[in-house]
Structure 1
Amino acid sequence: MILIKNTAMKYLITIIFITIVNTTFAQQVDKEFINPFRIKPSGYTHTVVSASGRTIYISGQVPVNEAGQVVGEGDLKAQTKQVYDNLLYCLRFAGARFEDVVKMTTYVVNYKPSDIDIVREVRKGYLSKENPPASTLVGVQALAHPDYMIEIEAIAVIPDKGN
């Protein structure tokens, strides 16, 4: 009788352990951040591979506040901060964080090489330094509103809801 209880207990403990481990791993999204050795990183990851999860596509965010007013007219740094705040809000609303972002595309009006320093300064306050997302910066002639200087879109991957 004692042997049966021990065997049953071992079986029960094994099932509980497997359930806990499976639940823990199921909540993680497998993402691999790759920087091929021939391509030097410059504050972003060149390739991100996502094996599973839900994909979130965030439309280009522009420098407007909750009232729809342009923030930081003529000030790229202020506009970039507002855009990242808007991205953060969108991510949180979808149940994600900046750590879940795998790709970003940044559009800057009348881009000058010195603009990258301004964008990077703001960006580093939001993004992971260890695994930043794959990123593209595009200089454009104009955006949807004449006072917009920057627009950023993002793609994030989070665990499936069922897991």
Structure 2
Amino acid sequence: MIEKDFINPNDLPKWEQSFSQVVMVDNGDSRTIYLSGQVSMDKDNQLIGANDLATQANQAFQNVKTALASAGAVPEDVVKINIYVKDYRFSDAECISEAFRKVFTQKKLPASTWLGVQSLALDGLLIEIDAIAIISI
């Protein structure tokens, strides 16, 4: 039987929807960690950086780091990341890349996909990030 753990860290937003922030799946001698989309909300569900993509990107990436830590992982363990940006324009890339590099400082970076989207789950959100990480057990 495959062992799964479902985690909702105290330092991340408390959503009323029915999902877990982090899911860990044991694969024998490794563990795969799936992060739900992280946004620019603090643990009290307050939006950080209204109308400011740079501030929202920084907060969302910090939430990714917090979610990883709850599963015993670090940014270096991430193998795939998806970045969803509301009404994405090429000019947005600079501030998103800057926020990314504050958390992902290693030379070997994860595979990534950037997607421009029409909207996100809540009004005011400009960016959402999900990720997959793998760690040794």
Q: CA deviation at 1:66?
A: 1.0
- Deviation readout 1:82-129 (Å, 9 max, x if unpaired): 101111111111000000000000000000001111100111111134
Residue in 1 aligned with 2:75? Answer: 98
Question: 91, 101, 105: which is aligned to 1:128?
Answer: 105
**Between Structure 1 and Structure 2, which shows a larger proportion of helix residues?**
1
Report if aligned partners of 2:75, 2:104 keep a CA contact under 8 Å in 1: yes
The TM-score with structure 2 as length reference comes to: 0.77
Where in structure 1 are there 5+ consecutive unaligned residues?
Answer: 1-51
Residue in 2 aligned with 1:113? Answer: 90
**Matches of 2:128 and 2:99, distance apart in 1:** 14
Question: 47, 61, 64: which is aligned to 1:87?
Answer: 64
Q: Which aligned pairs between 1:51-90 and structure 2 lie closer than 5 A?
A: 53-90=30-67
Q: Which aligned pairs between 1:37-48 and structure 2 lie closer than 5 A?
A: none
- Deviation readout 1:35-89 (Å, 9 max, x if unpaired): xxxxxxxxxxxxxxxxx61100000001100110110000001001110111111
Query: Which has the larger displacement, 124-133 or 75-84?
Result: 124-133
Matched residue count: 109
Structure 1 segments of 4 or more deviating over 2 A?
A: none
Equivalent residue letter for 1:55? T
Where in structure 2 are there 5+ consecutive unaligned residues?
Answer: 1-28
**Matches of 1:121 and 1:86, distance apart in 2:** 16
The TM-score with structure 1 as length reference comes to: 0.65
Report if aligned partners of 2:77, 2:134 keep a CA contact under 8 Å in 1: yes
Q: Secondary structure at the match of 1:125?
A: helix
What fraction of aligned residue pairs are identical, expressed as a percent? 42
Equivalent residue letter for 1:121? E
Q: Which has the larger radius of gyration?
A: 1
Residue in 1 aligned with 2:16? Answer: none
Equivalent residue letter for 2:65? L
